[in-house]
A and B are shown apart, each in its own frame.
Chain A
Amino acid sequence: MTLLTAAFLTALLAGAITAGIPLLLAGLGEQLSEKTGVLNIGIEGMMLAGAYLGFLVAWKTDSVFLGFVGGAGGGMLVAAIMALLCVRFGLNQIVIGIALTLGAEGATAMLHYFQFAQTYPRLGAISSLPIPLLADIPVLGPALFNRPPIVYIALLLVAVFAYVYRKTYWGIALQAAGDKPAALDSSGVSVLGIRSVAVLLTGALVGLGGGFMAIVGAGIFVPFMTNGNGFIGIVLAMLARGRPLWVLGGAALFGACLSLTTALQVAGVDIPTDVIQMLPFAAVMGVLVMLGRKANLPSALGAAYVRGAR
């Protein structure tokens, strides 16, 4: 097999991480919203806003760091509308989520049309931060331990969220806002406050994922570039049943298949990319058919909290 050279494997693994990080951030973000009882269908839009604003800021300021801040900010901007309409005012989460996705798709595509459609500016390659010793491991080293810092931060977030959910007061409060909002309310904690913060943080995480796609992944912003990644994030969050580590596993699986698609194309293997794109979904469906367990979602998921309504 000429395919299985070290260079090919490195490229495959590196590509899997590049494709998987946005999915990971989207899944972690969605998981946070869902824990508190907000079914956040709008993350595709938040991701796209993050990709646009992240690219714009990185391009204008020439600073990758500010670009990521811009990406998180773009996601939060859309999330703020969601928090206001769905958490404060209790509007239908599905309708508003889809509206925000459509709106962000339209708005970013129009902004791109007026700003970049003639020139298509590109960002330069961004510098990576090799981790001593680990970066020297063959294949694994260059693919995983010689990457931009944002990659390490995203992976660390998995551990941070796992700790917060399991060990801290905040983790319990988040869970309670989704499972027994009335009980949380009567213990003197603001359900709407917790949910609003969670939705805003979701926006920041997902927006960061979008920013990653534009700044690290593509180096360019194109309309609709998130291409369903936000929706895959929703699927990952639901499959993970509240566990951040499972989101990581899912993002790795989907990222690997996306990477395999491009790698085989580059290697000149003549299979339509659609066949490989089917793999992760087919695999997860297969697992679901065999295990067939309930999704274990928070009981108040999707329902607006109105004090005294139940």
Chain B
Amino acid sequence: MSVEVQDPSADGQAAAKNNGLASRRLLTDRLQLIGLSIGPLVAAILVASLILIAMGVNPVDYYTYIVNRGLLSPSGIEATLTRMGPLLLIAAGLIVAFRAGIWNLGGDAQFLLGASVVAALAPVLTGYMPVWLVLIVTLVIGAIIGALWSLVPALLRARQGVNEIITTMMMSFLGISFSNVLVKIFFLDPATNVPQTRTLPVEDRLPRLFDTTISSGVLIGLVAILIVHYVMAKTAFGLKLKIVGANAKAAVHAGLSVSALTIGVFAISAGFSGLSGAVAVLGQYGNVRADWNPAYTLTIVPLVFLARFNGFATIAYVFLFSVLSIGSESAARRLGVPNYFTLVTMAILLILLGITEMLDQKRRESRRT
């Protein structure tokens, strides 16, 4: 496994001249990259600590608790890893879209519709086929549903150049309501009074890893991110997408079929979001309740940006986010710090990461000249 170096053009010539020097460069670059991520994290914790002190909470207690609950306790790390599965799949879809310069911001509806259709189908299908086949079939269906929900924005963008930020956001609002309609009217579990779909029994869900409660969904997520990373970095298809993203007009002149690629990118990106919904249901929740919407997309978008669309950095950020959110959920119950504090911490972290990236870019520019 190799860690990809950001912005290789800056160091390309040095690498060609001297291999030894290049590898030393690579090492310092890697260390700098890690520093660039750790620095803002530490700073964000410091700023957040000040807020905690103002609230009369001991920050050391709070963060010890979060690390203990989200990372060190067996149940905590299991919950963290389980949560990563759907998040990684959404991230994989966003990487593909953003690389190609396409703003698919409709992930929440693609996720929810995938989730509710799968939640409705899976418990029924188990009566007709073996569980392993049900899981495969419903995972595929989830992805297809997500992809279908992006079809109209895809066609509008490819054929008529209609801005996809508008259309995907509209389809997202539309789809969230539509998913609720499906759950409340058509997919309702007749056995309960709670408006929700039928529940998939635990033994029919995605297998758990070893003797833990970790859902194998996290493996699906990791594999998806790694495949996306490899395809974007090493294959002709990935290169084509990057060209379309960098300059669509130039891509047309280079003989690429931009409209076919655009529709393909939408389908892949939205397909991953739908698959994410399927994994969340099949691996973790087992059903979809009415008005349920974890709204993951909005938190994953900035993480993918800050990872600069790099798969490995994305995995690290998603892991960090999962630890933080799982840990603070139980901190809310135990330490009286409302769960909303995670949102504030996330905001501080994103801003500091953004500032660090800007400073790093300035440093690179001054080194180049």
Contact = CB atoms under 8 A, between A and B. Distances in A.
Contacts of B343: 102-103, 105-107, 109
A138 to B, nearest CB: 34
Interface stretch (B63-71, B133-141, B298-306): B298-306
Interface in A214-234: 223, 228, 231-232, 234
A28 B340 CA distance: 29
A133 to B, nearest CB: 39
Contacts of B302: 94-95, 98-99
Contact of A85 (B160, B344, B354): B354
A48 to B, nearest CB: 11
A285 interface: yes
The number of chain B residues touching the other chain, given as a range, is 35 or more
Contact of B344 (A106, A277, A285): A106
A100 interface: yes
Given A91-B354, A100-B347, A102-B350, A289 B152 contact: yes
| B166, B178, B180, B355 interface centre (most CB from chain A within 10 Å) | B166
Nearest to A282: B174
B75 interface: no
Interface in B333-369: 338, 340-348, 350-351, 353-355, 357-358
Given A106-B347, A110-B338, A288-B162, 9 more contacts: A81-B351, A92-B305, A95-B354, A99-B351, A100-B347, A102-B344, A103-B347, A288-B167, A294-B161
B163 A238 contact: yes
B170 interface: yes
Contact of A274 (B177, B346, B351, B357): B177
14 contacts: A81-B351, A91-B351, A92-B305, A92-B354, A98-B301, A99-B347, A102-B343, A110-B344, A114-B55, A235-B169, A238-B165, A275-B181, A277-B173, A288-B167
A274 B180 contact: yes
B185 interface: yes
B171 interface: yes
A289 B171 CA distance: 12
Interface in A238-286: 238-239, 272, 274-275, 277-278, 281-282, 284-285
Q: Interface residues of A: mostly helix, strand, loop or mixed?
A: helix
Q: Interface residues of B: mostly helix, strand, loop or mixed?
A: helix
Interface in B176-224: 177-178, 180-181, 184-185
A103 B347 CA distance: 5
B77 to A, nearest CB: 25
Contact of B341 (A85, A110, A278): A110
Interface in B149-168: 152, 156, 159-163, 165-167
B350 A274 contact: no
B301 A281 contact: no
Interface string B268-302: 00000000000000000000000000000011011
Given A96-B351, A285-B167, A90 B152 contact: no
A295 B166 contact: yes
Contacts of B162: 288, 292-295
Contacts of B347: 99-100, 102-104, 106
A99 B174 contact: no
